[in-house]
Amino acid sequence: MLSPTSLLLQLLLTAAAATSASAFPDLPPPPFVNPWLSFQNLSGCHMGDERPGLADLKDYLSHFGYLPSPPPFSNFSDSFDEELDAAIRTYQRNFGLNVTGTLDPSTVDQMITPRCGVADVINGTSTMNSSFTRGRNLFAYFAGNPTWPPLKRDLKYALTATSNTAIDKATLSAVFARAFARWSAATTLTFAETESASDADVTIGFYYGAHGDGEPFDGVLGTLAHAFSPTDGRFHLDAAEAWVAEGDVTRASSDTAVDLESVAVHEIGHLLGMGHSAVAEAVMYPTIKTRTRKVDLARDDVEGIQQLYGSNPNFKGVAPSTTGSSPEMETSDGGGGGAGGGGRWGWRWLVVVAAVGLVRGESLLPGTSFF
């Protein structure tokens, strides 16, 4: 015979499943954690080890350019081999970590931080210029230094796929206008929104999972967005994120809240030809923590973009850093920290979390940890 707690759990899960099938038939199920959190189980691994999960780590490093893809019809192994050791050393060098080749805690912490989907190493060459003096000229460009042509300095952008986010169009327009303006202020470029995709140089959209460009999104956290180098013009955001478009993201109630404007400023840099920077203060740094706002161009960003497009004579210089953050958490409350795509899932997530809490005998009072 079921206990009262077990019976309540069964009823809650049944209600959640029914709501999912009837109210949200076309939406993918929301993941509950950062897809890279399992890397924490690999902390301490070094060359010569054999550990389940190393194949997934190799896939991660391959995605961001640190390892070549495995041969066709084959998979990565769980062996910590020389190639993995070399890849980790390059990763550590790019991010200013101790270069040990070992998966020490600081390296693992960096790897699980949400980030841009654009690779750090392209065709075997690091875009992060980590060999230079830290903090000086660490900006980088894509291979071949692609830019918008000299006669194309007035660019148009269109919001072409917004049905997967709960953020209203007016709010989105305001966020992206501010993000583009930060790059325009430092250069000779101008940007204007257009309603016509056919008239746009840049198209912006929110997508779930695989969406036709060969770079599928992975759900909450993990890869947040990606953009293509000039003159492709595509800019895609993961619709599963708890995007915050208004208010103070550092005070967001969602543990997985991500500041939309911060990510937009970064991805626009890619649209203009900027690669990733090894300067942690730069907006072109590959990673950003949850509940963090980082929208002001750093000196490294400005020097890089001005070498491509020239300087705006009215540019007033680099603003002091105002980045704010709080520690990341492992679970999400469904994106309640502002207008964001995760809000549609809020009730279902609450049901499941409540059910788990009841089974564990944990309190669900505000301010109480689930761990």
129 and 107 part of one domain: no
Q: Is 208 part of a structural domain of the chain?
A: yes
Give 234's DSSP letter.
E
179 and 83 part of one domain: no
Q: Is 350 part of a structural domain of the chain?
A: no
Report which residue type is found at 322: T
Q: pLDDT tens per residue, the chain (371 residues)?
A: 444 444 444 444 444 444 433 333 344 445 457 999 999 999 999 999 999 999 999 999 999 999 999 999 999 999 999 999 999 999 999 999 999 999 999 999 999 999 999 999 988 888 886 444 444 456 888 888 999 999 999 999 999 999 999 999 999 999 999 999 999 999 999 999 999 999 999 999 999 999 999 999 999 999 999 999 999 999 999 999 999 999 999 999 999 999 999 999 999 999 999 999 999 999 999 999 999 999 999 999 999 999 999 999 999 888 765 544 433 333 233 333 333 333 333 333 333 333 334 333 333 333 322 22
| Rounded CA separation 80/71 (Å) | 18
Q: Is 82 annotated as a binding residue?
A: no
* Active site amino acids: 267
Q: Is 329 annotated as a binding residue?
A: no
Q: Give the CATH number, domain containing residue 292.
A: 3.40.390.10
Q: HEC states along 89-121?
A: HHHHHHCCCCCCCCCCHHHHHHHCCCEECCCCE
105 and 214 part of one domain: no
Which residue segment(s) compose the domain that 69 sits in? 37-111
Q: Is the pTM of this model over 0.85?
A: no
Q: What is the pLDDT of residues 259-289, one digit of tens each?
A: 999 999 999 999 999 999 999 999 999 999 9
| Rounded CA separation 193/282 (Å) | 26
Q: Give the CATH number, domain containing residue 81.
A: 1.10.101.10
Indicate the number of domains in the chain.
2
158 and 136 part of one domain: yes
98 and 127 part of one domain: no
Domain end (from 89, 111, 133):
111
260 and 151 part of one domain: yes
Distances (CA, A) of 277 to 60, 98, 191, 309: 19, 18, 24, 18
Give yes or no for a contact between 112 and 38, defined as CB atoms under 8 angstroms apart.
no
Domain end (from 76, 111, 146):
111
Site of tokens 């079921």: 2
Q: Is 46 annotated as a binding residue?
A: no
Q: Is 85 annotated as a binding residue?
A: no
Q: Is 51 part of a structural domain of the chain?
A: yes
84 and 195 part of one domain: no
205 and 79 part of one domain: no
Q: What is the pLDDT of residues 13-47, one digit of tens each?
A: 444 444 433 333 344 445 457 999 999 999 999 99
